Each structure stands twice: as C-alpha cells, then as structure tokens.
A and B are shown apart, each in its own frame.
Chain A
Amino acid sequence: MNEPSEAKIRDLLKKSLHSPDPELQRDLWPQMLRRLDEQSSVKIIPWLDWALLTVPVISILAFPHSILVFMYCL
C-alpha cells in the first residue's frame, strides 16, 4: 500500500469531516419503549388482518359465484 498517499488522505479526511460529540445527551430508553410498544401492536394487527381475509377467501373458494358480490362491494 502506498503509505504516504494514505497519510495524505487521512489528513484530508480528518480536516474535512465533522467531528461529532461522542457523548450521548439524553436517555434514549423512553424512545426505545415507544418502539417496543409500536412493534408489539404491529404484531397483533397482521393476525387480525389474516383472520378478516380468511372469511372472504373461504367464501370465494366454497361459493365461487360469491366473487361477484365481493366485486360489487368493492
């Protein structure tokens, strides 16, 4: 590897990139809790969606003509 060239790039990057404060300014646990709550409610919805979807699918399979009724409703 070309060391002098790498050193130049290193210097250039150090001068050019913003140096962030590595200290965390606040406790992130409340946000984390919100995220956990959101995800647990998201987990429940798909089951309900699947249950609701099952009814028309079974109806269509059992009574193919019922698709006309569903299409009319849509």
Chain B
Amino acid sequence: MDAMNAITAEERSLVSPAEEGVLKRFAAGDIPAFEILFHQHQARVYAWIVRIVRDAGIAEDLTIETFWRIYRARKRFDPARGFGPWARRIATNVAIDGLKNLRPEESLSTEALPSIEVDSDLQRHIRKQTERAFRQLPARFQAVAIMALVDERPYEEISQALGISIGAVKTRVFRAVRLLRMKLKQLGVEP
C-alpha cells in the first residue's frame, strides 16, 4: 500500500466534526475556512520547512508557496484524510524545489552554528567544506539527509512526507551518504 495513503486511526480521530466542516468549506474554496487552516498549521509547516532549508527567510517564502499550492489543489483534497499530513507532503516538495533553486555554492546562514569548545582553524575548515559538499548534493538527497541524519526523524515519517516507501527512503539516505562522502574526499575531507 502507498505509505501516504495509509491513514492511521490516530490521524482519523484528529479530524473532529467541527474541523471536518472547515475542511469541507476549504475544499469548496471558502477563504475564511482557508484562513482558519492557515493559522492552525502555519507554524508547523514553517518549522518543517525551516529544518530542511535551514534559513528563516527562505522558509517563510516557502511556507507561503506551500499554502498557495494547498489552496490551488483544494479540489483534490479529501477532508476525511486530515489536513496536516497532506500539508506536510506539499511542504516537503516545496522545500525540495526551494533547495533546487539555491546555487550549490550559495552558503546559507552560518549564524548559530552548534557551539564547539575548541574551534580550531582545522575544524572550521572541515565544517565549511562539509557544508559546501552538502550543498552540492541533489536537492532530494539534501532533504532526506537532513530529515534522516540531522533531525533523526523516523523513516516512516520521512516516507510519508516524501510520498515514497520506507525502502526507497533507506536507499536515498544510503546514496546521499555515499555521494557526500565522495564529495568530501574531493574537497580533502576524510570522514
């Protein structure tokens, strides 16, 4: 069964009759209903996107883009299935598209890097090269590597967000690691 089509009992119970009414109105193109959903979900959608793209400004723009795509696709939305998982899947696709639009050499914000006690020149060099190598990966590999390796999200959650099987997620993570290791070696870093 398609992982994204598998709706859990827990997810189903989250859709209250009142919420279902809002979802039905949204699907019919009602802007006030869309506003309710926007306010309910914008923080979660933003938090999901910012973890993938690692930049607050870009994440805000992509959050808007996500809700725009959600609004455009409202007729295809099934109110019985819940808004959250659907929004997350669209947000993931938007975030991946956002990563594609970034140039590989374009460095994202380096503020608030994790603090390291002894930050030698060598460590700084390694971190810079790692980020550089990472940004050279295809967008779909960057996204899966962040979700699986940096955020350590469960594979099931990643498979739902990407709309692919758990096996495909594992394969993608494996390829991302292999490619990143190769690029790091080219840049003189031996992980």
Contacts and interface: CB of A to CB of B under 8 A. Distances in A.
B131 A17 contact: yes
Contacts of A5: 177, 181, 191
Contacts of B128: 16
A14 B59 CA distance: 19
Q: How large is the interface on B (under 10, 10 to 19, 20 to 34, 35 or more residues)?
A: 35 or more
Interface in B57-90: 59-60, 63-64, 67-68, 71
A23 B51 CA distance: 11
Nearest to B43: A24
Contacts of B43: 23-24
Given A9-B177, A28-B63, A18 B71 contact: no
A28 B134 contact: no
B149 A9 contact: yes
Interface string A9-28: 11011111111111111011
Given A5-B177, A36-B31, A18 B109 contact: yes
Interface residues of A, number: 28
Given A9-B191, A17-B131, A31 B108 contact: no
Given A18-B54, A32-B38, A12 B191 contact: yes
Contacts of B60: 24, 28, 31
Contact of B149 (A6, A20, A25): A6
B25 to A, nearest CB: 16
Given A14-B114, A32-B38, A24 B47 contact: yes
Interface string A32-61: 100110010000000000000000000000
B146 A17 contact: yes
A69 interface: no
Nearest to B171: A1
A72 B69 CA distance: 44
Interface string B104-119: 0000111111101000
Which 9 A-B pairs have CB atoms at the shortest separation, nearest pair first?
A16-B130, A22-B47, A16-B127, A24-B46, A10-B149, A20-B50, A24-B43, A8-B191, A16-B131
17 contacts: A1-B177, A12-B127, A13-B145, A13-B180, A14-B150, A15-B123, A16-B130, A18-B55, A18-B110, A18-B113, A20-B55, A20-B59, A22-B46, A24-B42, A29-B38, A35-B64, A36-B31
